[in-house]
Amino acid sequence: MTLKKWHCEKFGLGNQAFYWLHGWGHDLNAFKRMALLFKNGTVHTLFDQPGFGKTPALPEGATTREYADILAAQLAGTKDAIFIGHSYGGRVAVQLAAHYPEMVKAIILIGGAGLKRKRSIVFKVRAAALRALGRVARLFDFFFKTQYRAAYIARFGSADYRNAGPLRGTLVSAVNEDLSQIARQISCPTLLIYGSEDTETPPEIGRKYENLIPIARYTELAGYGHTDILSRGAYQCEAIIKSFLKDLDHA
Partner 1 sequence: MAEKKVIAVVFGGRSVEHDVSILTGLQFLEALDPGKYTGLPVYVDALGQWWTGSILSKRSEYPIKKTHHTALTQLTLDLATPANGRPQFLTFQKGIMGEKRQAIPFDLVVPAIHGTNGEDGTLQGLLDFAGIPYAGCRPLGAAATMNKVFAKRAARTAGIKVLPELLVNRPAQGQFLNANTLKEALTNALGTETYPFIVKPCNLGSSVGVSKVNDMDGLMAALMSAFRLDSAVIVEPFVPNLVEYNIACRRNEKGVVETSAIERPKREAELLDFKNKYLAGRKTGGAKLDTGPSEGMASLNRVLNPDELTAKQVNFIKTCSSQLFDELNLAGSVRIDFLSDEKTGELWLNEANTIPGSFAYFLWEAAKEPMSFLSLTNAIIEEGFTLSAGRLGNTTADAGGATLFAGD
Residue ranges in contact with partner 1 by CB under 8 A: 33, 37, 40, 219, 221-223, 228, 231-236, 238-240, 243
The distance of closest approach from Cβ of residue 110 to partner 1 in the complex, given in angstroms and rounded to an integer, is 14
Distance CA 228, CA 72 (A): 29
Of 101 and 223, the one with the shorter C-beta distance to partner 1 is: 223
Of 93 and 221, the one with the shorter C-beta distance to partner 1 is: 221
At residue 160, what is the residue type?
D
Query: Do residues 9 and 37 make contact, with C-beta atoms less than 8 angstroms apart?
Result: no
Residues in the chain: 251
155, HSE (Cβ side, Cα atoms, 13 Å)? 11
At residue 144, what is the residue type?
F
- 46, β-bridge pairs: 9, 20
Of 104 and 221, the one with the shorter C-beta distance to partner 1 is: 221
Distance CA 65, CA 95 (A): 6
How many Cβ atoms are within 10 Å of 125's Cβ, its own excluded?
11
At residue 55, what is the residue type?
T
The distance of closest approach from Cβ of residue 210 to partner 1 in the complex, given in angstroms and rounded to an integer, is 17
The distance of closest approach from Cβ of residue 251 to partner 1 in the complex, given in angstroms and rounded to an integer, is 17
Of 123 and 235, the one with the shorter C-beta distance to partner 1 is: 235
The distance of closest approach from Cβ of residue 178 to partner 1 in the complex, given in angstroms and rounded to an integer, is 30
The distance of closest approach from Cβ of residue 233 to partner 1 in the complex, given in angstroms and rounded to an integer, is 7
Of 169 and 225, the one with the shorter C-beta distance to partner 1 is: 225
